[in-house]
Chain A
Amino acid sequence: MPEGPDLLPRLGAFARLLHDAGMEAGPRRLTDAARALGYVDIKRHVDFRNALRTVFVSRKDELPVFDAAFDIFWAPPDPRASAGVMPGRSRSLPMSPERAKAWSAALGLNTSQMNREQDPSTVPATSSGYSAEELLRHKDFEQMTWQETEQVRRLLQAAPWRMAERKTRRLRPAANGRIDLRRSARHAIRSSGELMRLFHRRVRVRRRPLVLICDVSGSMERYSRLLMIFAHAIARREDLEAFVFSTRLTRITRLLRYRDLDRSLDSVSKGVHDFSGGTRIGDALSDFNRHWARRVLGHGAVVIIVSDGWDRGDPARLTAELIHLRRSSHRLIWLNPLLGSQGYQPLTRGMAAALPHCDDFLAAHNLQALDDLGRLLAGLNRRTRSR
C-alpha cells in the first residue's frame, strides 16, 4: 500500500477508475474515503479494501465492479509475476474500449486484463453464463425507418390508455371519503373545540408497475424489433421493468433509458448476447422468479410475457414457473404474435402448457394488436380473463 503524500493522488486516480467503470465516485465520496483511511490501518490489505468498499459501493451489483477495479489498481506485487506468470485477475471491468485502453496504458497492464464493453446491469451476477448449445449471435437493429418511427409516434399520441391503477396506502385530502381527524380537529380548535366542519381524505391511486418479459429467440426474430420499439415507447411514460430471453434472461430496463430510440435499440442489441438463439421459456421464467420477482413485482405489478410458445425446454417446468409467477403478480398476460395469423391454434407444447395459467392470451403481431393491449391494460381492474 502506498503511504504518506503518495496516497491521496493515488486515491483520486482510483476514484476516476471507478467513475469510468460506471460507479458514483464524486468529490464527496473521495473526501469520505480519505477520511475513512485515516481511521484504519492501511497496511492491512483487508481493512484498506473494506474501508474503500463501504464508502464507494452503494448497490450490490457494484460489488464485483469495485472488487475488479480494486484488484487491478491496488494489486500487491505478485511474486509469480517476476517468474513470468500473469497475476490471477479473473474479473474484468465494464468499460468502453478506449477508456480501457487508456487505463491499461496508465497502469501498465496488457489489454486482456481490462475488459471490453459490457454493462454490468445487463448480466445478472447469477446468470449461468453461456451454455454450449447457445447460439451466440449479436443481432444488430438497423437504423429505424422513418415510416416505423412515425407509426409508433402516432400510435402513442393517439393512445388514450394508461396503466390500470391500484390503491396505495397513502391518503390525500378529498371532498369526500374518510374523515380526516387531524385536519378537522385542527380546524375545530379555532372555534373553541366545536367541530364546525369535517374534512375528508381518500387513498391515493397510483399506476401499476409493468413488467415486460420478451422472447427474442430465433422464431420471434421478425417481431423482436417491433417489440423493442414498443418497450422503449412504454418505458417513456410508464413504470416499466423490461427483460428479454432466448436461452437466458437479460434485464434491459437500464438499456432502454435513452430518450433517443436508436440509441436505446443500439444499447439493447449490444447488451443482449443471445438474440435469435434457442428458446427455454421455463428456464428464463425460473430465473426471473428466483432472482427478480421479489425486486420488481412489488406494488401489484402487471406482467406481460411476449412469446410464440415454441419451447425447447420441459413443459412441466414452464407450467410450474407460470403458476408461481401468476400468484406473485396482479395479472399475467401472454402475448402471442402467432395468434394474429389465420387459423392459428395454440397447440405448441409450450403454449398448451402455458394457456391455463395466464389471465389473458392476446395477439401481438402488429401495431393494432399492441394498441388493443394498451386498451386492456388501461381497463385492468377485475380478474376476468380474455382469450
Chain B
Amino acid sequence: MARRARRATLLARKRRQGGDLLISRNLSSVIATSLATIEDVERRLRERNYIGDRALATSIFLALKLEKPLFIEGEAGVGKTEAAKVMADVLGARLIRLQCYEGIDLAHAVYEWNYPRQLLHIRLLDAGEDRRVAEREIYSPEFLLRRPLLDAIDNDDPTPPVLLIDEIDRSDEEFEAFLLELLSDFQVSIPEIGTIKAKRAPFVVITSNRTREVHDALKRRCLYHWIDYPDLEKEVEIVRARAPEAADGLAREVAALVQSLRGMDLYKVPGVAETLDWARSLAALGATRIDSTLVNATIGAALKYQEDLERVREQVPALVEKARGA
C-alpha cells in the first residue's frame, strides 16, 4: 500500500513538472521527419563540422532506426566522444554524459539518496508527527540525487536524450554487467520508489579505447563501429572545419606531417585531436607554412612520449620537406 501511495505522489509531481504527455514527440518521429536517409545524417554531421565517413553515418542512421545502442571503438583522439556530442546536436536532444572510471558504482551512475538532508529533515521533526509519514517523505524524489543514468531513463524531454557512456573500458566487469541489464529494458528500480521505466528509450552511444576487451554480451546488444584514422584528404578537411584559424596551406602541411608520423614506429601515434592541437598551436604562432624550427618548437602538441620525440627530432627536416610537398 505504502509503495503504491509513494508512486502516486511521484507521478503527481511529474505531471505538475512538465505535463510530459502533452509535448511528446518521440524519437522516431524526429528521425522520420529530418533524418530519412543516410545522406541526411551525413549532411547534418557535416553542417556541424564533424567530418565523418559514410560508414559512420550509416551506423548512426541504423542505430536510430533500429533503436539500438551504438558502440564506437577507435584509438584515442579519433573523435568518438565528439560523434555522440554532434549526434545530440543533430537530434536537438540533450546530451547526458557518463564518464566511466574504475570502481564506478550505482551511487555514482544511477542515483543516491541525499543522506545529510534526510537526516536533517528527520531530526527537525516535531515529536508529535507520525514517523511513518516522515519516512515516506524522506524517500521522495525531493531527496533523490539523480545521476546520469537515472536522468537518461526518467526523462521528460520533448526529444529523448542522447546518453553517452564514455570510455566504458575504464569501468570494471561489475559495472558492465549492470549496464547490460539496463540496456536491455531501460528501467531502474529504486526500492523505496519502485521501478522507473523509460517512456522513450534514450539514444545510447558507448565508446571504448580498447584498453581492455569489453564483454561480448554487451557488444551483442549494440551496433558496432570502428573509427579509423582518417586519410590525408579527410584529415585536411577536418582541420579546415575544426581549426579554421589555420591557413589552408598550413592545414594541409600539418595533416601531411601527422600522416607520416602515423607511419613511423612510435609508442603513441598522434590522433586527430593532436593534429588539431598542432594546427591551432602553429596558427597561434602566426605560421602560415611549416618549417623545421616551428615544428621542433611545437611538436609536443602531437607526440607525448620522450622516446617518440627523440626518434622524430632527427628526422624533422626530412618530414617537413615531405609534408610541404604533399
Interfacial residues, chain A to chain B (CB-CB below 8 A)? 24, 28-29, 32, 35-36, 39-41, 46-47, 50-51, 53-55, 57-60, 63, 168-171, 181-182, 185-186, 188-189, 192-193, 286, 289-290, 294-296, 298-299, 320, 324
Q: With an 8 A cutoff between CB atoms, is B130 at the interface?
A: no
Cβ contacts under 8 Å, B54 to chain A: 46-47, 50
Question: CA of A200 to CA of B122 in the docked complex: distance in angstroms?
Answer: 23
Q: Which of A50, A57, A169, A181 contacts B115 (CB 8 A)?
A: A181
User: A169–B224 contact, CB under 8 A?
Assistant: no
> Closest approach, in angstroms, between the C-beta of B115 and any C-beta of chain A?
4
Interface size bracket, B side: 35 or more
Are the C-beta atoms of A290 and B266 separated by less than 8 Å?
yes
7 more A-B contacts (CB under 8 A) besides A50-B54, A58-B219, A58-B224?
A39-B66, A55-B223, A57-B226, A171-B103, A192-B123, A286-B265, A294-B210
Known: A54-B225, A185-B118. A40 touches B216 (CB 8 A): no
| CB of B278 within 8 Å of the partner chain | no
B107 at interface by CB-CB < 8 Å: yes
Taking CB atoms and an 8 Å cut-off, the chain B residues in 3-47 that contact chain A are 37-38
CA distance A348 to B209 in the complex (A): 39
Question: Could you jot down 27 A-B contacts, CB within 8 Å?
Answer: A32-B223, A35-B66, A40-B38, A40-B61, A40-B62, A41-B37, A47-B58, A54-B62, A54-B223, A55-B223, A63-B226, A168-B103, A169-B102, A169-B103, A170-B103, A182-B112, A185-B115, A185-B116, A186-B113, A186-B115, A189-B118, A189-B119, A189-B122, A192-B122, A193-B120, A290-B265, A320-B307
Alpha-carbon distance A238/B29, docked complex (angstroms): 50
Q: A170-B105, A298-B211 are contacts. A182–B172 as well, Cβ < 8 Å?
A: no
Decide if B314 is an interface residue (CB 8 Å cutoff). no
Q: Does B138 interact with chain A (Cβ within 8 Å)?
A: yes
Residues of B within 8 A of A59 (CB): 213, 219, 224
A366 CB to closest chain B CB, in angstroms?
34
- In the complex, the answer to whether A50 meets B118 with C-beta atoms within 8 Å is no
Assembled-state Cα–Cα distance A59/B118 (Å): 46
* CB-based contact A36/B66 at 8 Å: yes
Provided the pairs A54-B225, A324-B307 are in contact, do residues A170 and B172 lie with their beta carbons within 8 angstroms? yes
Q: Provided the pairs A58-B220, A324-B307 are in contact, do residues A47 and B38 lie with their beta carbons within 8 angstroms?
A: yes
B234 at the interface (CB under 8 A from A): no
For B55, what are the chain A residues with a Cβ–Cβ distance below 8 Å? 46, 50, 53-54
Chain A: CB-nearest residue to B226: A60
Main secondary structure on A side of the interface with B: helix
Distance, CA A47 to CA B54, complexed state (A): 8
B73 contacts chain A at the CB level, 8 A cutoff: yes
Q: Which of B38, B101, B125, B135 has the most CB of A within 10 A?
A: B38
The smallest beta-carbon distance between B21 and chain A, in angstroms, is 28
Q: Which of B144-194 contact A (CB under 8 A)?
A: 172, 174
B221's nearest neighbour on chain A, judged by CB, is: A28
Give the interface centre of B105, B131, B211, B222 by most chain A CB atoms within 10 Å.
B211
Taking CB atoms, residues of chain A closer than 8 Å to B105 are 170-171
A189 touching B223 in the complex, CB below 8 Å, given contacts A35-B66, A39-B61, A295-B211: no
Interface assignment of B200: CB less than 8 Å from any CB of chain A? no
- Give the contacts of B71-96 with A (CB-CB under 8 A): 71, 73
Collect the chain B residues with CB atoms within 8 Å of residue A168's CB.
Answer: 102-103, 172
Q: Is B68 an interface residue (CB 8 A)?
A: yes
Closest to A183 in B: B115
Chain B residues lying within 8 Å of A39, measured Cβ to Cβ, are 61-62, 65-66
Residue among B102, B112, B211, B224 with the most chain A CB within 10 A?
A: B224
Q: What distance in Å separates the Cβ of A382 from its nearest Cβ neighbour in chain B?
A: 23
With A39-B61, A290-B266 already in contact, the answer to whether A24 and B216 are too (CB < 8 A) is yes
Question: Smallest CB–CB gap between A322 and chain B, Å?
Answer: 12
Residues of B within 8 A of A171 (CB): 103, 105
Residues of B within 8 A of A40 (CB): 38, 58, 61-62
The answer for the CA separation of A152 and B226 in the assembled complex, in Å, is 42
List of A residues within 8 angstroms of B216 by Cβ: 24, 58
Closest 6 CB pairs of A and B: A169-B103, A185-B115, A50-B58, A193-B123, A58-B219, A193-B122
Q: Which of B172, B209, B224, B267 contacts A324 (CB 8 A)?
A: B267
Let me know if B210 and A193 touch, CB within 8 A.
no
Q: Is the CB of A50 within 8 A of B267?
A: no
Closest Cβ of chain B to A361, distance in Å, is 24
CB pair A182 B62 closer than 8 Å: no
Confirm or deny: B212 has a beta carbon within 8 angstroms of a beta carbon on chain A.
yes
Check if A54 sits within 8 Å of B59, measured CB to CB: yes
- Give A57 to B72 CA distance when docked, in angstroms: 12
Indicate if the CB atoms of B210 and A295 lie closer than 8 Å.
yes
Residues of A within 8 A of B112 (CB): 182
Q: Are A289 and B267 in contact (CB under 8 A)?
A: yes
Chain A residues lying within 8 Å of B65, measured Cβ to Cβ, are 35-36, 39
Residues of A within 8 A of B73 (CB): 60
Residues of A within 8 A of B68 (CB): 32
CB distance from B270 to the nearest CB of A (A): 14
> Judging by beta carbons under 8 Å apart, are B224 and A189 in contact?
no
CA distance A29 to B116 in the complex (A): 48
Query: Closest chain A residue to B170 by CB distance?
Result: A298
In the complex, A32 Cα to B59 Cα: how many Å? 12
Contacting residues, chain A, for B172 (C-beta < 8 A)? 168, 170
Give Cα A289 to B212, complex, Å.
15
- Most A CB contacts (10 A, CB to CB) among B120, B212, B213 go to B212
Contact call A295/B118, Cβ cutoff below 8 A: no
Q: What chain A residues lie within 8 Å of B103 (beta carbons)?
A: 168-171
Which B residues are in CB contact (< 8 Å) with A36? 62, 65-66
A182 to B116, CA, bound (A): 10
Q: A171 CA to B54 CA in the complex, in Å?
A: 44
Name the A residues within 8 Å of B38 (CB-CB).
40, 47
> How many angstroms between the C-alpha atoms of A223 and B65 in the bound complex?
56
Closest partner residue, chain B, to A290 (CB atom): B267
